[in-house]
Amino acid sequence: MTLLAVRGLCKTFGGVVAARDVSFEVALGELLALIGPNGAGKTTTFNMVGGQLAPDAGAVVLHSQEITDLAPREKFRRGIGRTFQIAQTFLSMTVAENVQMALISCAGETRAMASDARRLHREEALEILAPVGMAHAADRPCSTLAYGDVKRVELAIALASRPKLLLMDEPTAGMAPRERAALMELAASIARERRIGVLFTEHDMSAVFAHADRILVLVRGEIVAAGSPDEVRANPRVKEVYLGETGVAAAERARRAPP
């Protein structure tokens, strides 16, 4: 079933086309990867879906409702969670408080002045932190965590609203090598288990070909190929403009084990 439908998105920055007629769909529980060289328009597309950028033309439809021009905060309320290329967390709070903050926002309690925020939704926050493996660090200040753990906390924040769609912009960027595979594994397993649709960009082809159900290849703002990892791997155009001989070989190695 179609969760997200993106139709004909266009965006131009001062004469430079960053996205041209970008259209795709994401189904429930599906992981869709957006790949392409630097400057291909991945982040632009991403920000148009997330609401950080307004498209010049085109539509973003979530669950048959058009949400094109909504602000990120409104898209969040419609069920879109997101992580950023450089992890965005609340550094002056503890790990649990980061998640509690998202839950407070979900519950519409952000203007409450009487209750004690540290006690609100704490149990639920711990439940959300458990699957990302951060429950044990619930009371540590977020500013003292290793970057890999900050990324996990960010994932937990994004999951706090029980989103239907998760946007992950380069989820493994800036992480130590060992942590990358683990984080990608974690995100993918949570998404499949909870039937969350995931749209992600990534430069690490082993992460892409190991976890994506489908792949979109963006070059100079345009989709040049879309399909299953096998199709994209075999696509001569993609090989020519992006993957190259060697990229195909890497993609071959990262072939996902059959479920």
Partner 1 sequence: MDLSFLVVQFLSGLASASSLFIISSGLTIVFGVTRIVNFAHGSLYMLGAYFAATLIPRLLDLSYGAPSFWAGVILSALAVGVLGVVMEVLLLRRIYRAPELFQLLATFGVVLVVQDVVLQAFGPQDILGPRAPGLRAPVEIMGRRFPSYELVLIAAGPVVLGLLWLLLHKTRFGVLVRAATQDREMVGALGVNQALLFTGTLFLGAFLAGLGGALQIPKAPATARMDLDIIAETFVVTVIGGMGSIPGAFLASLLIGQLQAFGILIFPKITLVLVFLLMALVLVVRPYGLLGRPEAPAGAHAAAFGTPLRPWSSTEKGIALVVLAALLALPLLGDVYLIKVATEILIFGLFAFSLHFLIGTGGLVSFGHAAYFGLGAYGAALALKHFGVPMELALPLAPIAAALGATLFGFFIVRLSGIYLAMLTLAAAQILYAVAFQWVEVTGGDNGLVGVWPAPWASTRLVYYYFTLAFAAAAVLGLRHVIYAPFGYTLRAARDSELRADAVGIDVRRHRWLAFILAGAVAGLAGGLYVFLKGSIDPSALSIPVSVDALTMLLLGGLQTVMGPLVGAAVLHSLKDQIMPLTELWRMMLGLSIIAMVLLFPKGLVGAFEAARERFAGGGR
Partner 2 sequence: MTERPILEVEGLAAFYGQAQVLFDVALVLRRGEVTALMGRNGAGKTTTLKAIMGLVSARARKLEFAGHSIAGLTSFRIARRGLGFVPEDRRIFTDLTVFENLEVGRRPAPGGAEPWTPERLFAIFPNLAEMRGRRASEMSGGEQQMLTIARTLMGNPKAVLLDEPSEGLAPVIVELMARAVNAMKAQGVAVLLCEQNLAFASGVSDRAYIVDRGHIRHEGSIAALSADEALRDAYLSV
82 lies in the binding site for partner 1 (CB under 8 A)? yes
Residue whose CB is less far from partner 2, 38 or 65: 38
Angle at CA 86, nearest 5°, toward 85 and 91?
A: 140
247 lies in the binding site for partner 2 (CB under 8 A)? yes
Q: How far apart are CA 201 and CA 83, in angstroms?
A: 11
* From the list partner 1, partner 2, none, partner contacted by residue 249 (C-beta under 5 to 8 A by kind): partner 2
- The stretch near partner 1 (CB under 8 A) out of 59-67, 116-124, 188-196, 202-210 is 116-124
Site for partner 2 in 21-80 (CB under 8 A): 37-39
Secondary structure class of 29 (helix, strand, coil): coil
Structure tokens at 143: 């500013």
178 CB neighbour count, 10 Å cutoff: 8
158 lies in the binding site for partner 1 (CB under 8 A)? yes
Which residue stretches of 121-235 are H helix? 122-129, 147-159, 177-194, 205-211, 229-234
Q: How far apart are CA 175 and CA 151, in angstroms?
A: 8
Measured in residues, the chain has a length of: 259
- The stretch near partner 2 (CB under 8 A) out of 4-12, 49-57, 170-178, 182-190 is 170-178
200 lies in the binding site for partner 1 (CB under 8 A)? no
Name the amino acid, one letter, at 246. Answer: T
Site for partner 1 in 30-59 (CB under 8 A): 50, 52
CA 156 to chain centre: 12
Structure tokens at 141: 């200040």
Give the residues lining the site for partner 2 (CB under 8 A): 37-39, 86, 145-147, 150, 170, 173-177, 203-205, 242-244, 246-251, 253
Give the residues lining the site for partner 1 (CB under 8 A): 50, 52, 71-74, 76-77, 81-82, 84, 88-94, 97, 100-102, 104-106, 109-118, 120, 140-141, 143-144, 154, 157-158, 160-161
